[in-house]
Structure 1
Amino acid sequence: MKNYLKRRLLQFLPVVLGICILNFVLIRLAPGDMAEVMAGETGMSDSAADAGQQVEHLRESFGLNIPAHEQLFLYLKKLLSFDLGYSYRFNAPVSELIAERVGATALLGLTSLLLAVAGGVLLGVLCARWRNGRLDRAVSALMALCYSVPVFWLALMLVVLFGVTLQWFPIGGMQEVGVEAGGRWALARDIAWHLVLPVSTLAVYSLAVYTRFTRASMVDTLQEDYIRTARSKGLSDRVIYFRHALRNAILPVLTMIAANFGELLAGSIVIETVFSWPGLGKLTYDAVLNRDTNLLLSILFLSSLLVMATSVVLDILYAKLDPRIELQS
C-alpha cells in the first residue's frame, strides 16, 4: 500500500504542475487589464492622472508589472510554500476565504451525493430484480425525465413553487439571522430546512445516473455463474441481490461517484448561485465575475487535488471489493 501511494504521488507531481501552468495561462489570456478591473472595483478616481497612478500602483502591488513568465514563477513558488495569495475583491487572504466556505459546499455536495447514491442503488437493484415489470418501466421513465431536466431550470422551478408560491422552504442562504440564539438543535434544524431545495435540485440528475448504472450492472452480474450457484444452494433473494450481486455490480457505480466528486464544484456553482448558498461555488462565481485571479486559481488548484485524491481512494476501494484487483507497487 505504501509503495503504491508513493508511486501515485510521484505521478501526480507533473500533473499538478501542468494543471497549475494551464490554469495560469488560460486566465491570463482573458481580455482586459487586470489592474484596471481592480481599480474599477475599488473605486477609480475621477482625475485621469490620479486614475493612472492608481492603476500603476495596483500593477506594482499585485506583481502585474513584471513579465508573464516571472509572474508564473512567483505563483508556483508561493504554491510550494502553501501561500494561496490575497483576494483584492474580498480584501482577505485566499486561504481564509476558502476555509470559511468549504464547509458549506461539503455539506451541500456530500448530502446530495449520499441521497443520490442511496436512492439510485436501491432503485437500480429493485429494477433489476423485477426487470421489464411495471416498477422497472415506471422508474425508467421517471429517471429519463430526471436525466433530461436542466439543473438551473429545475432550481428556478423549485424556488417558484415551494419557495414563493407555497412558501414551504426558504429560497436563499444557509440559515436565518439570529437562529444561533436558539441553541445547536435549532441551528441544525434551520440549516437542514435550508438544505432541502438545493440538495433536491443537485441530487436529481445524479439519482437518475446511479439508478441507470446500477440497473445495467446488476442485470449483467445476475447472469454470472456464481449467481446461479447461489440460487441452487437455496439462498434467499435478499442475500443473492444485496450480498453477492451488488458487491460486484457496485464497481461501475464507484467510478461514477469518483467522477461526481470532480464535478461537485462545477455543479454547485449553479445551485449555490441560485439559492445564495455561501459555499465555494458561489465564491467561484464571484471570482470569475470580478476577475479575482488569485482566488480563482486557488479554487481550481484545490479542485484538481480533490479529483486526484478521489482517484486514489477509488483504486483502494476497487481492491477491497474485488479480490482479483491488486494495487501495483
Structure 2
Amino acid sequence: MAIVLTILKRLGYAAGLLLAVIVLNFSMIHLAPGDVADTIAADAGGATEETMAAIREEYGLDQPFVVQLGRYLARVATLDLGQSYFYNRDVLDLILERLPATLLLVVSAQLVALIVGTLLGVYAARNSRGIISHLVTLFALFGYAAPVFWTGILLLIAFSLKIPIFPVAGMVDVTVEDGWFIKTLDIAHHLVLPMFTLATIFFALYSRLCRASMLEVLGSDYVRTARAKGLTPREVTLKHALKNALPPVVTLAGLQFSAVISGAVLVETVYSWPGLGQLALTSILARDTPTILGILFFSALVVIIGNLITDAVLRAIDPRLRGQA
C-alpha cells in the first residue's frame, strides 16, 4: 500500500510540474516579440494592417492572454497540440514522426556515457596514482570544456571527410533497401558520431563523480573490513564499493537528462539528424508557435519521465530510500 501511495504521489508531482512547464512555456512564447502574422507578412513582402488583423483573428491571436492560455490547456488535455503554421500539419503528427530519432540519440548517448564514464571512474579510483587515472582526468576536463557543437564539427571533419569511416549526415542511407537487419546496421552506422559527440561531455561528468565517490567509499570502514576478511579486490569493488558509489552518479544522470535533450538540438543540427532538434530550429525561424510549444511539451515530458525512472533506479540500488515518500 505504501508503494502505491508513493507512486501516486510521484505521479501527482510530475503532473503538477508538467502543468507548470506548459503554462510557463506558453507565457514566454506569448511575451516574445512577433507572431505568425509577422512571418506571413514578411514572406509575402508586406501586408496592410487589415490583413494582419484578419490573420491574427483567424489564428485566435487577437484574444486576451488568459483566453488563449485556457484554450491551449484544454486542447493539450486531449493531446491536441494544434496545427503547424509552417508545415500545415498536426503538431502531434510532426512530433511523433521525429521523436523516435531524438529518443534513439538521447537514450543511447546517455547509456553509453553512463556505462563508460562509470567504468572509467571505477578504474581511475582503483588506480588513483596511475597514469590511466591522470589520463581519465585530462579526458574528462577536455570533454567538459569543449562545446558539443565544436566537438561534433571536429569529429565530422576527421571521420567523415578526412577519413571517410562514417556518414556525413542523416540517419539512413536511402540506397539501402535490404531487410530490417541491414537497415538497423545502417542506422547504427549513422548513429555512432552523433551519439559519441553528445556523450562526450557526460563521460566527463560521470567519470569524475564516480572516481570521487569510489575513492570515498574505498576508504570507508566496511570496505576495510571486507578486505580484512580476505575478499579479492574485484569482489570488494563490485559487491561492496560500487553499489554504494553509484547513487550520486545515477542522481546526476537524472538531473542531466534535460541537458542531454538541449545538447541533442545542437548535435542534430551539426549532423542533420532528423529529430526534434531540427524541427525546433525550423519552427523557431518560422515563428511556428504551436510546433515550438509542442516540442517544449514533449521535451519536458521526456525529462520528467527520465527523472521518475532515475528515482525508481535509486530506490532499487539503495534500500534506505524505499521507505521514503
Q: Considering the TM-score relative to the shorter chain, is it more than 0.5?
A: yes
The range that moved more, 20-29 or 55-64, is 55-64
Tell whether the 8 Å contact from 1:4 to 1:327 is kept in structure 2 after alignment.
no
Q: Say which of 200, 224, 239 aligns to 1:204.
A: 200
Tell whether the 8 Å contact from 1:39 to 1:58 is kept in structure 2 after alignment.
no
Q: Say which of 118, 123, 126 aligns to 2:123.
A: 126
Matched, 1:61 2:53: no
1:75 matched to which residue of 2? 72
> How many Å separate the matches in 1 of 2:182 and 2:19?
45
Please state whether the residue corresponding to 1:174 is helix, strand or coil.
Answer: coil
Tell whether the 8 Å contact from 1:111 to 1:199 is kept in structure 2 after alignment.
yes
> How many Å separate the matches in 1 of 2:15 and 2:116?
37
RMSD: 1.8
Matched, 1:289 2:256: no
1:238 matched to which residue of 2? 234
1:27 matched to which residue of 2? 29
Deviation at 1:119, TM superposition (A): 0.9
2:87 matched to which residue of 1? 90
2:44 matched to which residue of 1? 44
> How many Å separate the matches in 2 of 1:156 and 1:87?
31
Deviation at 1:57, TM superposition (A): 4.1
Q: Say which of 85, 108, 112 aligns to 2:109.
A: 112
> How many Å separate the matches in 1 of 2:14 and 2:148?
32
Amino acid corresponding to residue 243 of structure 2 in structure 1: R
Give unmatched runs, 5+ long, in structure 2: none
> How many Å separate the matches in 2 of 1:254 and 1:227?
21
> How many Å separate the matches in 2 of 1:311 and 1:141?
30
Tell whether the 8 Å contact from 2:198 to 2:260 is kept in structure 1 after alignment.
no
Please state whether the residue corresponding to 2:319 is helix, strand or coil.
Answer: coil
Q: Say which of 2, 5, 8 aligns to 2:4.
A: 2
Amino acid corresponding to residue 255 of structure 1 in structure 2: T
Tell whether the 8 Å contact from 2:265 to 2:276 is kept in structure 1 after alignment.
yes
Compared CA separation, residues 318 and 132, structure 1 to 2 (3 A):
same
Q: Which runs of 4+ in 1 moved over 6 A?
A: none
> How many Å separate the matches in 1 of 2:140 and 2:44?
52
Deviation at 1:259, TM superposition (A): 1.8
> How many Å separate the matches in 2 of 1:19 and 1:297?
10
Compared CA separation, residues 166 and 313, structure 1 to 2 (3 A):
closer
Deviation at 1:39, TM superposition (A): 4.4
Q: TM-score, normalised by structure 1?
A: 0.92
> How many Å separate the matches in 1 of 2:215 and 2:273?
39
Can you list the C-alpha shifts for 1:7-50, whole angstroms capped at 9, x where unaligned? 1233334333322221111111111243121444xx5277x56x
Q: TM-score, normalised by structure 2?
A: 0.93
Tell whether the 8 Å contact from 2:35 to 2:287 is kept in structure 1 after alignment.
no
